[in-house]
A and B are shown apart, each in its own frame.
Chain A
């Protein structure tokens, strides 16, 4: 019972740390993928009095992926039956040019304003429609979530380190007699500390497997999946080998680092 409690005191902070870490990755991936979708769908519409050259716009506004002219043919086709051919030709020449500008990445509000200002400085451009409010609302919400998750994870990490250090000290006190006897027989550091390192490795492995299990099963819950779809996000896939491997490495490095620090510090005392 005592042993189980001792293990849980390390497994729980490690689990929470790894869970937070994986959650940061997850949110980053969701925001990235959402931003890619937005970028694909998003375009700035520009109205110009005369034809614009792609190079002019690309030179003035950085981050432009493509510029396409929106054809006025459809509008003119609708009017074909109502007005004469001559008037159609006249209309054709007097109608302003419409362009759709696609960007390489989804801009924030500040970027959009800057782009708008730059475009309006081009003499022939009479109007720029950015549709910024509609698109950036959800994106901003995701970005805020990303920051909140990051801050929360740092807080969790600090608490976890403190809890683990405390537990390592308890372990060390429990094993101190054994370690001092080993010292008197000339045992090197790694033999004396082997028990503690073994415990930490086992707990790291258990925590990693638990976190992996949670992330494998999360997308399989229907409610979560439906919710994700309802807000138009895709929960990234958890790659068992790759992601578990990363988590295991992080978990081992993190716990081995803490146990080494505690052992060295206690030995010096």
Chain B
């Protein structure tokens, strides 16, 4: 099977500080569902940042979707990020864009026509049960609703990989369920690779997954 992510002796640091992640090895195949867990400050989000190219490896190598992150220039990073669907812990929705336009963002970047963008955004908003709030602005929504919009945005362009940072961190049971269903469906029906950083793997999730556990900067694969 093809590796969509391949980290070899990956060491990550912020500036000249002590390494956050030391010599991590990870192989993630296409269409896998992956959990990265660990205590707060263990470097889970740092790994995610390196996967979308916001943090360059200090040592070792990191390949995502065939693009070597170590020496990727901005145009290669732009290309890589168009393969990814990212769900941030703090949602990162554009405040002065409507919910619908926020969902359209990856499609606008991808150069799709307005009709396609609108149709796809409405379809996804229907999936996350927020179609009735398409014309609202992010700040008019609750935290759970904003996270569902962020999830719809991440799925809009049928990405190769979804990277989700604590996607259900502060959500109620209903919103959490919607999010997990969407991630599960993305893997099962769209063949997407899903990588979720979380404190806690939901016990009700009925899916095969790979699990990496982080402790003091070391990545362990849990069998």
Q: Is the CB of B54 within 8 A of A187?
A: no
Q: Which residues of A contact B82 (CB under 8 A)?
A: 185-186
Q: Does A213 contact B (CB under 8 A)?
A: no
Contacts of A186 in B (CB 8 A): 77-82, 84, 106, 109
Interface range for A:
10 to 19
- B81: chain A residues within 8 A (beta carbon): 183-186
Say yes or no: B52 contacts A184, CB within 8 Å.
yes
A112 contacts the other chain (Cβ, under 8 Å)? no
Q: Which residues of the partner chain B approach A191 to less than 8 Å between Cβ atoms?
A: 108-109
Residue of B nearest to A174 (CB): B96
A181 (CB) vs chain B CBs: closest residue: B92
Bound complex: CA of A186 vs CA of B54, how far in Å?
11
Could you say which of A178, A184, A185, A191 has the most chain B C-beta atoms within 10 Å of its C-beta?
A: A185
Which residues of A sit under 8 angstroms from B79, Cβ to Cβ? 186
Give the distance in Å from the alpha carbon of A185 to the alpha carbon of B108 in the complex.
10
Q: Is the CB of A185 within 8 A of B94?
A: no
Known contacts A177-B95, A178-B94; A184/B109 CB under 8 A = no
For A187, give the chain B residue with the smallest CB separation.
B109
| Given known A186-B77, A186-B80, contact A181–B109 (CB-CB < 8 A) | no
Q: Does A182 contact B (CB under 8 A)?
A: yes
Where the two chains meet, the residues of A that have a C-beta atom closer than 8 Å to any C-beta of B are: 177-178, 181-188, 191
Per CB-CB distance, the 10 closest pairs between chain A and chain B, nearest first, are: A186-B81, A186-B82, A186-B78, A187-B109, A178-B94, A181-B92, A185-B106, A185-B109, A185-B105, A181-B94
Contacts A/B (CB < 8 Å), 18 sampled = A178-B94, A178-B95, A178-B97, A181-B92, A184-B52, A184-B92, A185-B81, A185-B105, A186-B78, A186-B79, A186-B80, A186-B81, A186-B84, A186-B106, A187-B109, A188-B75, A188-B109, A191-B109
Besides A178-B96, A184-B92, 13 more A-B contacts (Cβ < 8 Å) are A177-B95, A178-B95, A181-B93, A181-B94, A184-B54, A184-B86, A185-B106, A186-B79, A186-B80, A186-B84, A187-B109, A188-B75, A191-B109
